[in-house]
Structure 1
Amino acid sequence: MNSARFVRTAVAVVLAATVLSACSGDGDGDAVPREWIRKTYAASGSGWVDADSAPGEVARAIRAERAELDRASGGGMEFLRYGDDMVTVSPYRGGSLIEIEDYRNGYRRHQRHLTYWPDPDSASFRGGGPGEGK
């Protein structure tokens, strides 16, 4: 009797762990590829710099590393949205400046270029991070 109970308990624990890990996720699916950006580009005071590539090229490289949830462009800049964060790639000394910031702050700074992105201050904004809107 004890071995049957042990097997049932073990199976229940494994199933529960599997279900919980599948539901929680690690959030990396919609997260900015920060570590890759840190390793790939030169650090600068407010972000990272690619001295030789235009913003469109840099944005394509970042998107190739991890697909964004949404993107926009305007004023020579490229914007990539990743959940609760965004990446702004702007012209800088013949190359590009890459900045990562909270979506709310980035939206406020660049709102005129993000005309179809959701306003984070609206009642209908769901964010995009793990567990948001559920």
Structure 2
Amino acid sequence: MAAMTRNARRALIAPLLLVMLALTACGGNIRDFIGDTYTLQNTSGDARTYTSKDPIGTTVSKIVSEEAPAARKADGGSEYLRYDDDIVTVSGAPGGGSLIRVEDIDGRYRSGGFAYLGPGFNPGSPAGGAGGSGGSGDAK
């Protein structure tokens, strides 16, 4: 079998790379996953609240297994997940289950509303900053 020329190999590889890029670019974001998985309870501006019949830990595990957050923190019985464009807060629902609030990162995040959660939640802080919580941290 004759050896392929460099240009022939490029001609074969280029379409494959384009397909791979298209597939990864078409992937949904965490907002889409939550909207497709949980029941919408209400909308307020750019924030949406969903309900889950599962407890907080199970709900958070499902969300995190779909897409890992840039930062994660547990505080006061709630779990906070920071993504590139959204803050996801999972807390207990009255009567059981959990509430999932998805907020655009431009809202309270940019004004420092989540700064008390520490590195990764301060406006402009890197996800893996000093002492950051890019992994599961102290979230349970």
After TM superposition, the score normalised by the length of structure 1 is 0.60
**Displacement of 1:76 after TM fit?**
1.1
1-side partners of 2:42 and 2:126: how far apart?
Answer: 31
Residue pair 1:78, 1:90 contacting (<8 A) in 2 also: yes
**Displacement of 1:22 after TM fit?**
8.2
Moved over 6 A (4+): 11-25
After TM superposition, the score normalised by the length of structure 2 is 0.58
**Displacement of 1:82 after TM fit?**
1.3
1:130 is aligned to none
- TM-aligned CA distance change 1:109 to 1:49, over 3 Å: farther
2-side partners of 1:112 and 1:32: how far apart?
Answer: 22
- 2:47 is the counterpart of 1:44: no
2:30 is aligned to 32
Superposed, 1:1-134 pairs within 5 Å as 26=25, 28=27, 31-35=29-33, 37-46=34-43, 47-50=49-52, 52-94=53-95, 95-107=97-109, 108=111, 110-111=113-114, 113-120=116-123
- TM-aligned CA distance change 1:68 to 1:112, over 3 Å: closer
Between Structure 1 and Structure 2, which shows a larger proportion of helix residues? 1
**Displacement of 1:87 after TM fit?**
1.0
Identity of aligned residues (%): 31
Amino acid at match of 1:119: N
- TM-aligned CA distance change 1:73 to 1:44, over 3 Å: same
CA RMSD of aligned residues (A): 3.5
Aligned residues: 115
